[in-house]
Amino acid sequence: MLRNVTATRYVAPLRSGGSVPGVVEADDLGTYVVKFTGSAQGRKALVAEVIVGELARALGLRFPELVLVHFDPGIAGHEEHQEVRDLHASSAGVNLGMDYLPGARDFTPEVAKTFPVDPLEAGRIVWLDALTVNVDRTVHSSNLMVWPTLGVAPPRLWLIDHGAALVFHHRWDTSAPEKAYDFRHHALGHYGPDVRAADAELAPRVTEDLLREVLAEVPDAWLAHDTDFATPVAARDAYVEYLLARVRASGDWLPTDFPSREEIAAEQALRAARTQQGRPKWLKQVPDLHGKPAAEQDWSVHLG
């Protein structure tokens, strides 16, 4: 089961994501990135974080430890922004914490140019994302970290931030388990991910027993807010049944068509050219901050 800790010091908010998580220190002397139950994404985002994160760990992928963080808004009374204080006030109680990785770097397009990733490892990550319908691991927003940057061990890829996964749980009545999604612009697509080998290795391991163990980690209180089901038990059963059906239908959704680096660069250049053409003449001298090359971007460390 996920460990329970109590937040003892609020360090800072993180504004790199829409949910405005916060860095806290806890009574176990650990430091965690906390995602709050009161955020605009709601509790379903936290449910997705637990299910996908714990499934990733069970399948041998690197993912920071998750903990349940008991949070008293009073420890963050010094926060100067009213909207963040409001978020904290609506999140008193149990929230979700992810182990803070000190010194970790974003897996940005610039890092990706020189960072080696084995095709099978890439395939495993793509396969997990396809199984759990994680639409938020793209070349523009990888939700991957490179850690450690110092030390004896070589830097490795770590998965983070799965709140946007499990898109089917927002519309249970219209989601087909065999549905394919567009993963062509996956952050690891140009590494030649061996998704067929990953499917052969991982699919047999995603059993009903494993899924029930993973779903047992989700607090009842978060599932009780799902109005599609009468009880948390019914909600857990629905997740298990859906993911089991999806893994059995992997032949229908297994992504195999990935563009090369060159094709991605050409597509981005074309998009930038179209953006420039559509601007008024007086605006064409203004730099297009969204379309400028990745090497010129001010990439900040993303912590969750």
Whether the Cβ atoms of residue 159 and residue 125 lie closer than 8 Å to each other: yes
Write the pLDDT tens digit of every residue in 4-31: 999 999 999 997 667 899 999 999 999 9
Task: Compute the half-sphere exposure of residue 93: CA atoms within 13 Å on the CB side of its CA.
Answer: 8
On the question of pLDDT at 288 being above 80, the answer is no
Joined together, the tokens standing for residue 222 give: 């978060």
On the question of pLDDT at 302 being above 80, the answer is no
Mean pLDDT of the chain: 89
Whether the Cβ atoms of residue 51 and residue 218 lie closer than 8 Å to each other: yes
Instruction: Calculate mean pLDDT across residues 245-267.
Output: 87
Q: How confident is the model at residue 250 (pLDDT cuts 50, 70, 90)?
A: very high
Can you give the pLDDT at residue 284? 52
Whether the Cβ atoms of residue 11 and residue 22 lie closer than 8 Å to each other: yes
Task: State what percent of residues in the chain have pLDDT above 90.
Answer: 73
Write the pLDDT tens digit of every residue in 53-101: 999 999 999 999 999 999 999 999 999 999 999 999 999 999 999 999 9
| Domain ranges for the chain | 3-99, 105-253, 261-290
Write the pLDDT tens digit of every residue in 43-54: 999 999 999 999
> 272 versus 279: which is more confidently predicted?
272
Task: Compute the half-sphere exposure of residue 260: CA atoms within 13 Å on the CB side of its CA.
Answer: 3
Joined together, the tokens standing for residue 201 give: 């290795």
Cis before 148 (ω within 30) = yes
The C-alpha atoms of residue 39 and residue 7 are separated, in whole angstroms, by: 18
Distances (CA, A) of 222 to 19, 38, 228: 17, 11, 13
